[in-house]
Amino acid sequence: MSNTMQMVIALIISIAVLVLLLVKSKLNAFTALIIGGLLTGILGGLSPLKTVDALKTGFGNTMASLGILIAFGVMIGKVLEVSGATASMGKKFVAVLGRGHEVLAMIITGFVTSLAIFCVPAFMMLFPLAKDISKRTGTSISALGIGLAGGLLWSHELVPPASGPLGGAAIFNANIASNMVLGFLVGIPMVIFVNFYAKWIGKKYHRIIEDIDENSLENKKDAKEPSFILSILPILVPIILILLAGALKKVKMSNTISDAIQFVGSPVVALGLGLLIGVFTLLNDIDRKKVSAALDDGIVNGGKTLVLIAAGGALGNVVNESGAGNIIAKGITHTGLPAILVPFIIASLLRVIQGSGAVAIFTAASITAPMIATLGINPVLANIAACVGAMVFSYFNDSYFWAINDSIGAKSTKEQIMNWSIPTTACWLIGGIEILILNFFL
């Protein structure tokens, strides 16, 4: 057997074992990714020791490039949660957009919130706000819930500093500022669809919340929410700084000013400043020990994502060291299949099989990152392709699917699929078309 065939077969077997471990075994995704990396290297012709070295190097490089970003991001999310800033933002968006635009308000609230907080906890935290709006305005809770879920998905799957696209960008070595802009733009047609679809599904399954739970936001009389401006600053400031640094990178100016802008606009410093702003503006009235405990809790919650991303980086480095990525890339160039569809298809298959969008993004990025130079793919677009692929057909193996449907009160399988499986697949299709179009220009 030729070395080329051996490496290709090794990668196919390793991916098959990886998927099997993710779906059928009791192992977590981190362990499955490491085992997949070991199999890829050893079956592909690397010595066991070189395979282990490649795993460690990939894990360490990914951790070095992303560890601080993830830690700051989850701590910002915890600050917003503890302070009540997310509820404050949601109420402001509803007030500004006015009557009849409640679904759009929930989409925007979800988008802003999920830049810093994972989808499921963010949805559960904001759903009482949706219930209150349903009671006060008569808007279907199904429409509001799906709008909120769609807004959360927009940033969670497409826009750094959300962990999925941020992790993919690190693996692809893609520019984060460019990812932010492109992910935002690619998501706009999707959420336009979600806005109309949520209103339609709200009429089809019309539910009005008549009673507010005792633990809902409206009944916490002693809870003092921060102002909208203070609430949004911890998210807005890092985004502005990162985008500013990216936009001015090639603009001629004095070295001192240029260095200062690039320093504060580097993702690590920008997110760190966002965290400091949140702590010193939103948590002034909260006991120091409680603040410290909340930030520690955020790091604990983000630890799983961080090691998962690093394990994906380890797998990718083994693929790179074995040479399998370059061989497959060269083969793809002769098939006529648009190269940009490779990360899209891999992420789509993994998402359907094992349910986790994050795992799908990180794994697709890890497998295809070593190929993109040969394939001639823009790394930013490759990351967006993997992120869009990971949106397809959310169903029973996705915890977010259950969080949405249980909260809305959907009991029948048909309604559950209509609520979330159908719109995520439509967004996946819309995004896939956008990627093919963008591939002609980027």
206-238, pLDDT tens digit by residue?
A: 887 664 444 444 444 445 789 989 988 988 888
Pairwise CA distance, residues 191 & 193, whole Å:
5
pTM of the predicted model as reported, rounded to 2 decimal places: 0.75
Pairwise CA distance, residues 236 & 242, whole Å:
10
DSSP 8-state class, residue 117:
S
Contact assessment for residue 105 and residue 89, using Cβ atoms and an 8 Å cutoff: no
**Which of 84-88, 189-193, 210-214 is least confident?**
210-214
What 3-state DSSP class applies to 399?
helix
Q: pLDDT (tens digit, 9 = 90+) per residue, 361-391?
A: 988 888 888 888 778 889 999 999 999 999 9
Structure tokens at 382: 């490759």
Q: Where does residue 268 rank: exposed (0-12), middle (13-18), buried (19+ CB within 10 A)?
A: middle
Site of tokens 């993994």: 350
pLDDT at 4: 67
174 sits in the region (left: phi over 0; alpha: psi -120 to 50; else beta) called: beta
Structure tokens at 428: 């996946």
Cβ-Cβ contacts under 8 Å for 3 (sequence gap 6 or more): 45, 323
Beta strands in 14-160 (DSSP E): none
Higher local confidence (pLDDT), 188 or 95: 188
Confidence label for 438 from pLDDT (cuts 50, 70 and 90)? very high
